[in-house]
């Protein structure tokens, strides 16, 4: 079965849409600010947001879903990175997030991605937020927060490489604690041509610890005229609604809140049966998209969380290899719960 056929057959029983609808009803001629208004977006997540994950999120109500972050150097030197870029036929479009530190590679990557995806490229996003040392030690990710001039060159390079494609950036409050640079940095990115700025309310040195400060979203929104996308600690639909209501954000980006919860975007409260059905659908989507099925081990822990004997079912999934084995575990959970 194709991913589209899987979703049509197994999505509705899980409380998901049977197909992915285009971003903002496919109205590509509308300004990005209008298309983002009130939107809940699925964030780029390394090792998580593959095609199957994106399809699940979009079927759950995400207005748009991002690729995993893609190395510009990887696109330049090899073919494997292109697997992260290509949308599945079930996806009308995707947002592609690039990372690196060399403007010339960003220009080349933007040009090649735009040519390859055509109308299915909703926007290009530049990662200036990743706090992981193996990224920052190369001057990439959140390290760019310390070099706004270089970051601005990168934005301009992407715009030159992909004329007409919105170029956005994702940033953090700053790289180091108590050294907030986000408002001033965002202003420089807007001047370079960024069409929107996503702001994660933590410093890079915090990684994902502590609480995200949503106040910085307001400070950035006051500093720029482009849309600001709220990010950080959006772990539920209610939190997403609060972020839209209480900050100057135009849209909200959800990351960890999507774990085992594609309904986070719609606010639907799934039953135990729908959670099991969603896991089954997700496993089938992994198979349909050619993804490594070991990813379903993490998915089992996320979808079965909070269920009776959740640890038992999670451990059972850890020894699974094939789709049939994962589906057999799901059948056991359903039988045990009478779902």
**What are the tens digits of pLDDT across the range 94-150?**
999 999 999 999 999 999 999 999 999 999 999 999 999 999 999 999 999 999 999
- pLDDT for 339 beyond 90: no
Cα–Cα nearest to 23, from 103, 104, 91: 91
pLDDT of residue 26 exceeding 80, the answer is no
* pLDDT > 90: percent of the chain: 92
> Do 131 and 226 sit in the same domain of this protein?
yes
Same domain, 226 and 300: no
Same domain for 311 and 244: no
Q: Which domain holds residue 81?
A: 3-265
Chain position carrying tokens 């029983």: 13
Domain boundary among 237, 265, 293: 265
Burial status of residue 80 (CB atoms within 10 A of its CB: 0-12, 13-18, 19 or more): exposed
pLDDT band of residue 52 (cuts 50, 70, 90) is very high
Secondary structure of 168-192 as H, E, C letters: EEEEEEECCCCCCCHHHHHHHHHHH
Domain count, the chain: 2
Indicate if 209 and 321 belong to the same structural domain.
Answer: no
Q: Which residue among 231, 249, 265 closes a domain?
A: 265
Instruction: Tell me the average pLDDT of the chain.
Output: 95
Confidence label for 87 from pLDDT (cuts 50, 70 and 90): very high
Q: Residue 48: which CATH number?
A: 3.20.20.70
The pTM of this model reads 0.95
Run of H or E residues at 323: helix 323-337
Could you please report the per-residue DSSP string of 216-262? Answer: HHHHHHHH-SS-EEEESS--SHHHHHHHHHHSS-SEEEESGGGTT-G
Residues 151 and 10 in one domain: yes
Tell me the per-residue pLDDT of 180-221, one tens digit each, with 9 for 90 and over.
999 999 999 999 999 999 999 999 889 888 899 999 999 999
For helices 272-288 and 323-337, give the axis angle rounded to 10 degrees. 170
* Same domain flag for 235 and 115: yes
What percent of the chain has a predicted confidence (pLDDT) above 70?
Answer: 99
Q: What is the pLDDT of residue 25?
A: 65
Q: Are both 166 and 300 inside the same structural domain?
A: no
Pairing of strands 40-42, 228-231: unpaired
pLDDT in tens, 260-270: 999 999 999 99
CB 163 within 8 A of CB 195: no
Q: Which residues participate in catalysis according to the annotation?
A: 130
> How many other β-carbons are positioned within 10 Å of the β-carbon of residue 126?
27
């Amino acid at each position: 079965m194709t991913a589209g056929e899987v979703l049509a057959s197994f999505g509705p029983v899980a409380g998901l849409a049977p197909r992915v609808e285009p971003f903002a009803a496919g109205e590509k001629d509308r300004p990005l600010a209008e298309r983002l208004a009130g939107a809940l977006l699925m964030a780029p997540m390394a090792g998580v947001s593959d095609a199957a994950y994106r399809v699940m999120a979009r079927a759950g109500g995400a207005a748009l879903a991002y690729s995993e972050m893609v190395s510009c150097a990887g696109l330049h030197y090899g073919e494997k990175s292109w697997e992260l870029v290509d949308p599945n036929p079930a996806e009308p479009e995707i947002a592609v997030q690039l990372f690196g530190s060399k403007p010339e590679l960003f220009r080349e990557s933007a040009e090649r991605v735009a040519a390859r995806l055509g109308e299915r490229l909703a926007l290009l996003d530049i990662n200036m937020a990743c706090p992981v040392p193996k990224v920052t030690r190369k001057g990439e990710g959140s390290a760019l927060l310390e070099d706004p001039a270089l970051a601005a060159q990168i934005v301009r390079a992407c715009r030159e490489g992909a004329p007409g494609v919105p170029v956005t950036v994702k940033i953090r409050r700053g790289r180091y604690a108590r050294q907030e640079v986000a408002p001033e940095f965002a202003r420089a990115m807007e001047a370079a041509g960024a069409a929107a700025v996503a702001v994660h309310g933590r410093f890079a040195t915090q990684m994902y610890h502590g609480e995200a400060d949503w106040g910085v979203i307001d400070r950035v929104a006051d500093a720029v005229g482009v849309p600001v996308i709220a990010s950080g600690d959006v772990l539920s639909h209610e939190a997403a609604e609060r972020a839209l209501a209480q900050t100057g954000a135009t849209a909200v980006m959800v990351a960890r809140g999507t774990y085992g919860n594609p309904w986070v975007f719609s606010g639907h409260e799934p039953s135990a049966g729908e959670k099991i059905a969603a896991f089954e659908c997700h496993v089938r989507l992994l198979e349909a998209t050619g993804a490594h099925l070991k990813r379903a081990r993490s998915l089992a822990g996320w979808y079965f969380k909070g269920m009776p004997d959740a640890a038992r079912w999670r451990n059972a999934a850890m020894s699974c290899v094939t789709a049939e084995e994962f589906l057999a575990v799901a059948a056991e959970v359903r039988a045990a719960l009478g779902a």
